[in-house]
Amino acid sequence: MKENSVQIRFKEDPVLLDKILQDMQKSLMNRLKWLNYAFGRAYKLVEHRPDGNKFIYPAMYNGNGEYVSLLPNDNFGNFSWFDIYDPQKITEVVQSLPQYTFSGAIIFWYDLSSIYEDETVMHTEEVKDEIMRVLTTPGLITTTGKLVINDIYERFENIYKGYSIEKIYNNYTYKGEGIQDIDKQFFMYPYAGIRIEFTLTTRELCQRYIL
């Protein structure tokens, strides 16, 4: 799927996790001038292959029952997406609404040559520094919420951990078609990526009543 058919839709009145992720998406697009797409939450999809293997990959919902794969590719330019983990923890607060704690990661996939003209060295640390400056800037989240950065992963198998790419790189047996092409094309310069794991804490400010 090419980029002109991809849609990033924002809810008019998002709540809880949706509100925070939309805040972050908008901030990333405004402050990282090289970022072409700041996708929202990804979902784990399973493709059943003819040989009986299951290929697990992240995909974003594109509306009208359609999903778009977020595996390493050059269709979207430089892009990011969120991987949210189960479970979501709930803490009861006396005389207030419950507090929600979400754990997850934001994944960036990018073409270094589109960001830095100098091809004599790898500029991955510069990209990481720029991303971290945005994520730790006060005011990133406009609602009641707190973002804490926990870990950073840069090896390819860890960037897509929890999906079939991780298993392939950790000596699991998989015979899926096309993996060799992904490996040769996107797991070497100019392509690179980063996975930043975080914890989010938020609560609604007021009770929503149904009349």
Condensed to tens digits (0 to 9), the pLDDT of residues 29-50 reads 999 999 999 999 999 888 876 7
Query: Would 210 be classed as within a structural domain?
Result: no
What pLDDT, on the 0 to 100 scale, is given for residue 180?
46
Is-cis flag, bond preceding 138, omega within 30?
Answer: no
* Residue 73 and residue 44 in contact, taking contact as beta carbons nearer than 8 Å: no
3-class state of residue 133 by DSSP = helix
Question: d(Cα 182, Cα 149) in Å, to the nearest integer?
Answer: 29
For 44, the domain range is 3-202
Query: Would 211 be classed as within a structural domain?
Result: no
Residue type, 33: K
Question: Domain holding 117: CATH number?
Answer: 3.30.2000.10
- Burial of residue 207 (CB within 10 Å: 0-12, 13-18, 19+) is exposed
Query: Residue range 182-190: average pLDDT?
Result: 66
Query: Residue range 114-136: average pLDDT?
Result: 92
Query: Would 209 be classed as within a structural domain?
Result: no
Q: How many domains does the chain have?
A: 1
Question: d(Cα 100, Cα 200) in Å, to the nearest integer?
Answer: 8
Count Cβ atoms below 10 Å from residue 128 Cβ, excluding itself. Answer: 16
